[in-house]
């Protein structure tokens, strides 16, 4: 405990001290006070020691017996309880300072979520406010228990990774709060996904905002987030406050990865339940393998179905063939290259010039 808090606690006086001073002045014993107030000596002792608060009824009784206005006692009680709560809160926050060591403080400061620069109780309080919880215990219950597999939760070495994951998820929740969305309609979202295919093909510079706008029409939130260094996540799908939320990073920096991630998460929204949570490419999270495969198949079928392999010479793949397949399947050449690479039909460096670089920094809001 810091010396300042210790001094504040020592200087804080209870309303019971004032009661004692008053009855001493009136030459009245605690037993007599109890008799006059119709209480037991034990109840009076609790009142004087601060174990029992001064209620409205007690304040009225003190006014009658001691001749001091009821409002004085109520104000005295309120000031004491408020001051005591603040001292106890400060003591509690001091005990939580070590919790900050596992948090991505630099990133949260960089993105403007933490204003405090010095590690201390003020930073702890601000960090708890960022997460919307009252203590690290609730933080763990809300963000770690629900999102991380048991083996990760139990390992101290994984704490920074889990904290980065929690911060990444929370950032999207805060962004979602700033917006309003219509009720989600599954059929409308399927229509929207077809419209989005034109963005895949044309790949305009402003595709991130157009994508958000189209999904909003169907009641789906798409939020772009920075990939935190200790939480290398590419995307996530979950429901927050009744709204399906797709959260995406530009971790891989190319359009083939971006679009596969988007359609993969869209598949989770359409195919799976509101209580399901999916976090992609984060080793600490245990996705349902069956549902992951369904989302993979969903993304594949929307972007480039498997039967494209029947229309290409797998022994002699060149850029001309890639462009032809892209035209025939109304997709982007980068999608074809990505699929071929994933199937190990071409080397990782093949078709690099056909991929479009993605940078979401301009479209990320804090």
Number of domains in the chain: 3
Please tell me the predicted confidence (pLDDT) of residue 121.
Answer: 93
Write the pLDDT tens digit of every residue in 245-265. Answer: 999 998 889 999 999 999 999
Are both 56 and 159 inside the same structural domain?
no
Do 260 and 149 share a domain, yes or no?
A: no
Q: What distance in Å separates the CA atoms of residue 306 and residue 114, rounded to the nearest whole number?
A: 47
Strand 243-248 versus strand 221-224 pairing type = parallel
238 to 18, 84, 166, 200, 226: CA distances (angstroms): 56, 41, 14, 23, 18
pLDDT of residue 314: 84
- Confidence (pLDDT) at 227: 84
For residues 211 and 116, membership in a common domain is answered with no
33 vs 66: CA distance, rounded Å: 9
Distance CA(208)–CA(222), nearest Å, equals 9
Which of residues 95, 110, 144 is at a domain's end?
95
Q: Would you state the structure tokens that stand for residue 101, as one six-digit string?
A: 């060591």
Domain at 75, CATH number? 1.10.260.40
Given 80, 95, 110, the domain boundary residue is 95
270 shares a domain with 230: yes
- Angstrom distance (rounded) from CA 257 to CA 288: 21
Per the structure, the complete domain to which residue 135 belongs is given by 98-177
Question: Domain check: are 117 and 76 in the same one?
Answer: no
Q: In this structure, are 204 and 171 located in the same domain? A: no
Chunk the chain into consecutive blocks of 10 residues (it has 366) and report each block's average pLDDT, rounded to whole numbers: 77 94 95 96 95 96 97 96 91 93 94 94 96 95 85 80 93 94 96 96 96 97 90 92 95 94 97 93 85 96 95 90 96 96 93 95 85
Indicate whether 191 and 335 sit together in one domain. Answer: yes
Together in a domain, 68 and 194: no
Residues 216, 314, single domain; the answer is: yes
Same domain (yes/no): 144, 218: no
d(CA 211, CA 253): 17
Q: Do 146 and 198 share a domain, yes or no?
A: no
Sign of the dihedral through C-alpha 328, 330, 333, 338: negative
> pTM for the full model?
0.84
Are both 351 and 237 inside the same structural domain?
yes
Sheet of strand 243-248: strand arrangement: 221-224, 243-248, 235-240, 278-280
C-alpha span between 197 and 207 (Å, rounded): 11
Structure confidence by residue, pLDDT tens digits, 144-181: 888 887 777 778 778 888 999 999 999 999 999 999 99
Tokens of 126: 């601000």
Distances from the Cα of 27 to the Cα of 17, 76, 161, angstroms:
15, 22, 65
Q: Return d(Cα 83, Cα 149) in angstroms, integer.
A: 41
| pLDDT score, position 149 | 76
pLDDT score recorded for residue 1: 60
Q: Which among 177, 201, 220 is the end of a domain?
A: 177
HSE of 57, CA atoms in CB hemisphere, 13 A: 4
């Amino acid at each position: 405990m810091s010396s300042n808090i210790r001094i504040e606690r020592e200087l804080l006086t209870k309303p019971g001290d004032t009661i004692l001073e008053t009855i001493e002045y009136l030459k009245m014993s605690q037993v007599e006070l109890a008799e006059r107030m119709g209480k037991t000596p034990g109840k009076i002792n609790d009142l004087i020691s601060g174990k029992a608060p001064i209620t409205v009824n007690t304040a009225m009784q003190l006014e009658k017996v001691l001749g001091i206005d009821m409002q004085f006692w109520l104000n005295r009680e309120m000031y004491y309880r408020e001051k005591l709560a603040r001292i106890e809160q400060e003591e509690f926050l001091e005990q939580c300072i070590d919790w900050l060591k596992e948090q991505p403080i630099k990133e949260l400061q960089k993105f403007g979520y933490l204003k405090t620069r010095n590690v201390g109780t003020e930073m702890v309080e601000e960090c708890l406010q960022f997460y919307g919880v009252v203590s690290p215990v609730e933080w763990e219950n809300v963000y770690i228990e629900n999102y991380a597999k048991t083996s990760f939760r139990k390992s101290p070495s994984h704490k920074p990774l889990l904290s980065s994951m929690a911060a990444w998820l929370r950032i999207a929740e805060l962004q979602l709060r700033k917006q309003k969305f219509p009720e989600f309609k599954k059929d409308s979202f399927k229509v929207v996904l077809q419209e989005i295919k034109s963005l895949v093909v044309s790949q305009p510079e402003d595709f991130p905002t157009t994508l958000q706008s189209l999904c909003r029409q169907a009641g789906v939130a798409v939020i772009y987030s920075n990939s935190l260094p200790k939480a290398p996540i590419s995307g996530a799908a979950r429901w927050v406050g009744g709204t399906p939320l797709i959260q995406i990073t530009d971790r891989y920096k190319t359009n083939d990865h971006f679009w596969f991630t988007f359609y993969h998460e869209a598949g989770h929204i359409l195919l799976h339940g509101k209580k399901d949570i999916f976090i992609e490419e984060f080793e600490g999270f245990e996705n349902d393998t069956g549902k992951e495969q369904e989302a993979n198949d969903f993304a594949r079928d929307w972007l480039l179905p498997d039967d494209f392999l029947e229309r290409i010479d797998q022994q002699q793949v060149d850029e001309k063939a890639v462009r032809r397949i892209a035209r025939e399947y109304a997709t982007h050449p980068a999608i074809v290259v990505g699929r071929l690479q994933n199937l190990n039909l071409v080397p990782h460096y093949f078709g690099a010039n056909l991929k479009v670089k993605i940078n979401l920094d301009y479209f990320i809001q804090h």
